[in-house]
Chain A
Amino acid sequence: MLRMRELTRVYRTDTVETVALDAIDLDIAEGEFVAIMGPSGCGKSTLLNLIGMLDSPTNGSYVFDGTEVAGLDESALAQIRKAGIGFIFQSFNLIDELTVRENVELALLYHDVSAAERKRRTDEVMDRVGIAHRARHRPTQLSGGQQQRVAVARALVANPRLILADEPTGNLDTSHGDEVMRMLQQLNADGSTIVMVTHSPAHADYATRVVNMLDGRILQERRRAA
């Protein structure tokens, strides 16, 4: 599904140059559930942002679905992102001014989807993550676990082929965290490709492959036996 070669990301300020990713090679196939682990500052989130095309590499090649995306401009990246990638964040990133339903529906607003179809898909995905009964609530009225379920619903509603999750359980207690992980595992079982950044070895165990990073490089990879 995606293939990275010699991918490098360097952040520069006036006086400091930080190499966040140092010539990484990574392939992810359709249907995989990949967990990326490593200490703070090792480049996990940078890698996830590059995979999600929220950031552009300084050097190297990134082929997504057969298309070289390194060097594409922002609007072209937005098109690819819109068509195939869903995001889940540690801090949920729900919009406080919108209701649960509106937050979920937001992901379809920028697609060419009719209002009736939007409603159908929003209802369906809210059902699927078990948040339909809170559809009219605002995010601030929900628990952390419920908020993250809304975020998952939002990531799913546009039927993306790839779901990127940046520490999806980082702001949750153990039971809510486990609940979200089970949900992701089920999504993977249903066919979604998932790439997740996590600090938790227990949650990394839900993945089919674990990538360990250090100082901007991939240190080791291990696959879980099926």
Chain B
Amino acid sequence: MWRNTLVMAVRLMARNRLYTAVTIGGLALGLAGCLLILTYIRYEANYDAWLPDSDRIHQVQTTIHPPGQADVHTQASPFPLDDLLPGGFSQIEAVTSVASGKTVTEHDGQPMFLDATTVDGDFFRVFALPFVEGSAATALPDTNSVVLTESEAIRQFGTADVLGKLLSLGAGPGKRDYRVSGVLRDLPGNTSLRLGIMYRRDVDGIPAEMRGWGNYDQQHYVRLRDGAAAAAVNAGLPAWKKRMWPPEMLDGKLVSIADAFEFRLVPLRDVHLGQAQEAALTPAGDRRALATFAVVALLTLGMALMNFVNLSTARSTQRAREIALRKVLGATRGQLIVQLLGESLLMTAIAMLLALAMAELAMPWIGAWVGADLAMAYIGEGGMLLPAAILFALAALLGGLYPAFHVSRFRPATVLRANMSAAETPGSGRLRAGLVVLQFAIAIGLIVCTWVIYSQTRYVQTIDPGYRRDGLVQIDNAWRFTQGSEYQAAHAAMLAIPGVTGVGRTGLGLAAPETSTRLMRAAGAPRHVTMEFYSTDAEFLPTMDIELLAGRMLGDRHAADRIAGESEAELVARGINVVINRAAAAKLGHRTPRAAVGQVVEIAFGGWAMVPSRIVGVVEDTRFGTARDAIEPIVYAYDPEHTSQVLVRYAAARPSEIMEALDGVWRRFEPEIPFEARFADDIVAELYAADRARGALFATFSGLAVLIACLGLYSLASFTTQRRTKEIGIRKVLGARVRDIVRLLVWHFSKPVVIANLVAWPVAWWAMRDWLNGFDLRIGLGPGPFVLAGGLALAIAIATVAVHALRVARTNPIHALRYE
């Protein structure tokens, strides 16, 4: 019986090669897409799941409610938590603090940056990371030791067997030797931790003012006792915080700053895709993008399954006789359903094998595209065998069930009587038309989305950022370079490079991952607000070419402009001058930029001292981040001691030569630190790299979906024209011309595409409006993409069908009428 089923299935596939190729090929493409996306989703959703006891480890996240601004969700938390949390909650077994930064070492005579992670002594109690050399008990016994990852050890020493060896780290007076006390196995790619060279925190070396509740330079991780619930800790945190966090003196009054902050334990495994992404150690995942990919993958598979159902039912007229005969010979409907499902299982199995091969081949490519370390494992944790088996069963059943029930329903007396076309049961034609409408609706929707995403991605890269982007270089890691007496000489050397027209310093550069928000209050205003505070030098704004709207720029001609390392008390006494942008002026309640000039705003400095700051100028708004973010109100202060980046403007010079000359100046003045500089255009391009990659992936899947739809339509058109051969013959005998026949058939298949537009347009419009709302600056959603997508789908459909239509229309009607 099974042999007969198999023989029948194989011979049927061989006989209907087009149908077989389209069904299996389309299904394989759809399944491969699903497997790829599923692998990616599992990769993203299983961040940190590999860590031992990962369900007991939580990150302490902070939600800040800044006055007059949207809430900020950050993975950082204040310094005192490390000491205070363990005593506050019996559920907590250990707490550790992790601060991330950079250090330098010398490698082959060249300075080299290394990621540096400063942790406290409990780090390995919280994270039971596997060691290659040494152990958790002996790692980081003091502040003179370091722990390396295996690959870092090999990079520095050529071997992982480095226990006890010395590594020289740091620059200038901070440079010293550290003893390697442990080597960790490299962390897998899907972790929210980024561990560079690990140091032990030197608490004594931290100045008193950096030990307060205002220091957010670290993350805290908590290991709960076995069986303890994070919810219990979270419930107790607000009251605990109030007890621990003393009121601060603000504006001469004791204020409970703690009210503006909320702490919460978040499971480590939820950190990567969680809401709080500020201060994340690794790039955030995008839950929404994952959901979008999942939907697109399912739609693609859905298209392939619809082809399966459509072609199976269309082909059923050919099978009707065989099925009826089997019934006559005693087959029960159940036996026939099993046979037909068996055929669909066979086809799906072949498609699945092809899909697995395709997915394996495409995996490294897709992985590189989305920046994930993707690999296809079949068994073990995260193995794809079970999901692939489920996907296979689902596809075989969804694709095979309806055709099996449909075909096995034929009544033998009707089918065997004579004309096979009579075997077409009422309803199956309507179902096919419905599925074609659905397929094209999906294809049109995806084309619209692809077009809108592409347009928006292009648009955001061309919008006016408020500063001149061409001819601009940003030098990073210049926290030492920008300070001290040598900067003046370096500044002069840079300006002496032919083509360089300006050099400025800032604390926050382009696409800065961090922010510097300060509490402020317009003089006499009842409420505080928060705004960005940029420490710059006097040349920053002119170098950036940011337009002055009113007043003047900051400079050395006015003594109050510059902050020169005075104490907070001195600054409160003398006051400072600042320049603000248009958005800041508006936020402070000034109707025009000019109206803001001369006004005073109080700005909070480190110890909550409110420094009176006179607005001497207002500049145009700028967009230093992405177009997703709203324009930020910014206060610029002349405070060169808190700058860490240099911006260089050049004109009429070759970019590579400018870069080379800047490198030369850097090496002369900062030989211990590597030179890292990027063109502003590249920084902005990088900002949108993830958007572009996602857009490209989306476009690929859309293309795939459209291809599958067209394959299905092509095949369906082939069957339908075959079925209508007799009708076409009669029409020709009655005088129809070739073009009348072509028009008839093309219209037959164009109708569903036209109807598909009506389905696709509102859904795509809604989805794209929602997506565009995520951008502060966005393109308008006009009829263009919709008409274009509809037209494109129609053109593709007509081209697909016209081939068959022409062939059939040209057939001699005598052959056509002899057909049945």
User: What residues of chain A have their CB less than 8 Å away from a CB belonging to chain B?
Assistant: 45, 49, 52, 54-55, 74-75, 78-79, 81-83, 87, 89, 91, 93, 95-98, 102, 105-107, 109-111, 154, 158
Q: Note all chain A residues with C-beta closer than 8 A to B329.
A: 82, 87, 106-107, 109-110, 154, 158
Q: Note all chain B residues with C-beta closer than 8 A to A98.
A: 7-8, 11
Complex CA distance for A181 and B329, rounded to whole angstroms: 22
Q: Note all chain B residues with C-beta closer than 8 A to A52.
A: 328
B252 interface residue (CB < 8 Å to A)? no
Given contacts A54-B328, A78-B327, A109-B1, contact A45 B417 (CB under 8 A): yes
B325 touches A54 (CB 8 A): no
B259 interface residue (CB < 8 Å to A)? no
Closest A residue to B417 by beta carbon equals A45
Closest B residue to A97 by beta carbon equals B11
A55 touches B330 (CB 8 A): no
B4 touches A75 (CB 8 A): no
Q: How far is the CB of A122 from chain B (nearest CB, A)?
A: 12
B413 touches A78 (CB 8 A): no
**Nearest 6 CB-CB pairs, A to B?**
A82-B330, A110-B330, A97-B11, A54-B413, A49-B413, A55-B413
Find A97's partner among B12, B331, B418 (CB 8 Å cutoff). B12
Known: A52-B328, A158-B329. 6 other contacts (CB 8 A): A74-B333, A79-B330, A82-B329, A93-B324, A95-B321, A110-B330
Complex CA distance for A15 and B693, rounded to whole angstroms: 62
A89 touches B416 (CB 8 A): yes
Given contacts A45-B417, A78-B330, contact A93 B325 (CB under 8 A): yes
Q: How far is the CB of A86 from chain B (nearest CB, A)?
A: 9
Closest A residue to B15 by beta carbon equals A97
A102 touches B7 (CB 8 A): yes
B412 interface residue (CB < 8 Å to A)? yes
Considering residues A78, A79, A83, A102, which has the most beta carbons from chain B within 10 angstroms of its beta carbon? A78
Given contacts A45-B417, A95-B322, A97-B11, contact A81 B331 (CB under 8 A): no
Q: How far is the CB of B51 from chain A (nearest CB, A)?
A: 57
Closest B residue to A90 by beta carbon equals B418
Q: Which of B315-368 contact A (CB under 8 A)?
A: 321-322, 324-333, 335
B416 touches A93 (CB 8 A): yes
Q: Note all chain B residues with C-beta closer than 8 A to A106.
A: 4, 325-326, 329
Closest B residue to A105 by beta carbon equals B4
Q: Which of B783-797 contact A (CB under 8 A)?
A: none
Q: How far is the CB of B369 from chain A (nearest CB, A)?
A: 44
Q: Note all chain A residues with C-beta closer than 8 A to B332.
A: 75, 78, 110
Q: Note all chain B residues with C-beta closer than 8 A to A154.
A: 329
A110 touches B333 (CB 8 A): no
A110 touches B328 (CB 8 A): no
Given contacts A49-B413, A89-B416, A91-B418, contact A102 B325 (CB under 8 A): no
A-B contact pairs, 21 of them (CB 8 A): A52-B328, A54-B411, A54-B412, A54-B416, A55-B411, A55-B413, A81-B330, A82-B329, A93-B324, A95-B321, A96-B15, A97-B322, A98-B7, A102-B7, A106-B4, A106-B325, A106-B326, A109-B331, A110-B330, A154-B329, A158-B329
Complex CA distance for A75 and B336, rounded to whole angstroms: 12
Considering residues A83, A106, A111, A158, which has the most beta carbons from chain B within 10 angstroms of its beta carbon? A106
Q: Which of B13-40 contact A (CB under 8 A)?
A: 15
Q: How far is the CB of B328 from chain A (nearest CB, A)?
A: 5
A110 touches B11 (CB 8 A): no
Given contacts A78-B332, A81-B330, contact A102 B4 (CB under 8 A): yes
Complex CA distance for A54 and B329, rounded to whole angstroms: 11
Complex CA distance for A79 and B329, rounded to whole angstroms: 10
Q: Note all chain B residues with C-beta closer than 8 A to A45.
A: 417
Complex CA distance for A91 and B329, rounded to whole angstroms: 16
Given contacts A97-B11, A102-B4, contact A78 B331 (CB under 8 A): yes
Complex CA distance for A119 and B332, rounded to whole angstroms: 23
Find B331's partner among A96, A105, A110 (CB 8 Å cutoff). A110
Complex CA distance for A95 and B416, rounded to whole angstroms: 12
Find A111's partner among B7, B322, B330, B418 (CB 8 Å cutoff). B330
Complex CA distance for A51 and B714, rounded to whole angstroms: 44
Complex CA distance for A79 and B335, rounded to whole angstroms: 13
Complex CA distance for A52 and B15, rounded to whole angstroms: 32
A75 touches B8 (CB 8 A): no
Q: How far is the CB of A115 from chain B (nearest CB, A)?
A: 9
Q: Which of B703-747 contact A (CB under 8 A)?
A: none
Complex CA distance for A91 and B326, rounded to whole angstroms: 15
Complex CA distance for A81 and B324, rounded to whole angstroms: 13
Q: Note all chain B residues with C-beta closer than 8 A to A110.
A: 326, 329-332, 335
Q: How far is the CB of B15 from chain A (nearest CB, A)?
A: 6
Complex CA distance for A106 and B4, rounded to whole angstroms: 8
Closest B residue to A166 by beta carbon equals B416
Complex CA distance for A97 and B318, rounded to whole angstroms: 12
Q: Note all chain A residues with C-beta closer than 8 A to B417.
A: 45
Considering residues A87, A95, A154, which has the most beta carbons from chain B within 10 angstroms of its beta carbon? A95
Q: How far is the CB of B410 from chain A (nearest CB, A)?
A: 11
Closest A residue to B412 by beta carbon equals A54
Complex CA distance for A91 and B4, rounded to whole angstroms: 23
Closest B residue to A157 by beta carbon equals B329
Closest A residue to B330 by beta carbon equals A82
Find B328's partner among A75, A87, A96, A105 (CB 8 Å cutoff). A87
A75 touches B333 (CB 8 A): yes
Complex CA distance for A91 and B417, rounded to whole angstroms: 9
Q: How far is the CB of B238 from chain A (nearest CB, A)?
A: 69
Closest A residue to B335 by beta carbon equals A110
0/1 per residue, B530-554, Cβ < 8 Å to A? 0000000000000000000000000
Closest A residue to B415 by beta carbon equals A93
Complex CA distance for A96 and B15, rounded to whole angstroms: 10
Q: How far is the CB of A82 from chain B (nearest CB, A)?
A: 3
Complex CA distance for A190 and B723, rounded to whole angstroms: 44
Closest B residue to A111 by beta carbon equals B330
Q: How far is the CB of A218 from chain B (nearest CB, A)?
A: 20
Q: How far is the CB of A33 from chain B (nearest CB, A)?
A: 21
Q: Note all chain A residues with C-beta closer than 8 A to B321.
A: 93, 95
Q: Note all chain A residues with C-beta closer than 8 A to B335.
A: 110
Complex CA distance for A93 and B335, rounded to whole angstroms: 20
Complex CA distance for A95 and B331, rounded to whole angstroms: 15
Complex CA distance for A97 and B326, rounded to whole angstroms: 14
Q: How far is the CB of A175 from chain B (nearest CB, A)?
A: 24
Complex CA distance for A140 and B331, rounded to whole angstroms: 24
Complex CA distance for A50 and B418, rounded to whole angstroms: 17
Q: How far is the CB of A185 from chain B (nearest CB, A)?
A: 23
Q: Note all chain B residues with C-beta closer than 8 A to A54.
A: 328, 411-413, 416
Q: Note all chain A residues with C-beta closer than 8 A to B411.
A: 54-55
Considering residues B325, B332, B411, which has the most beta carbons from chain A within 10 angstroms of its beta carbon? B325
Q: Note all chain B residues with C-beta closer than 8 A to A111.
A: 330
Closest B residue to A55 by beta carbon equals B413
0/1 per residue, B389-414, Cβ < 8 Å to A? 00000000000000000000001110
Q: Note all chain B residues with C-beta closer than 8 A to A55.
A: 411, 413
Q: Note all chain B residues with C-beta closer than 8 A to A49.
A: 413
Complex CA distance for A223 and B145, rounded to whole angstroms: 115
Closest B residue to A87 by beta carbon equals B328
Complex CA distance for A96 and B420, rounded to whole angstroms: 15
Complex CA distance for A54 and B11, rounded to whole angstroms: 28
B416 touches A97 (CB 8 A): no
Closest A residue to B1 by beta carbon equals A109
B8 touches A97 (CB 8 A): yes
Q: How far is the CB of B333 from chain A (nearest CB, A)?
A: 7
Closest A residue to B331 by beta carbon equals A110
Q: Which of B498-521 contact A (CB under 8 A)?
A: none
Q: How far is the CB of A156 from chain B (nearest CB, A)?
A: 12
B413 touches A95 (CB 8 A): no
Considering residues A49, A54, A55, A158, which has the most beta carbons from chain B within 10 angstroms of its beta carbon? A54
Q: Note all chain A residues with C-beta closer than 8 A to B418.
A: 91
Q: How far is the CB of B413 from chain A (nearest CB, A)?
A: 4
Complex CA distance for A42 and B321, rounded to whole angstroms: 24
Considering residues B1, B4, B330, which has the most beta carbons from chain A within 10 angstroms of its beta carbon? B330
Complex CA distance for A102 and B325, rounded to whole angstroms: 13
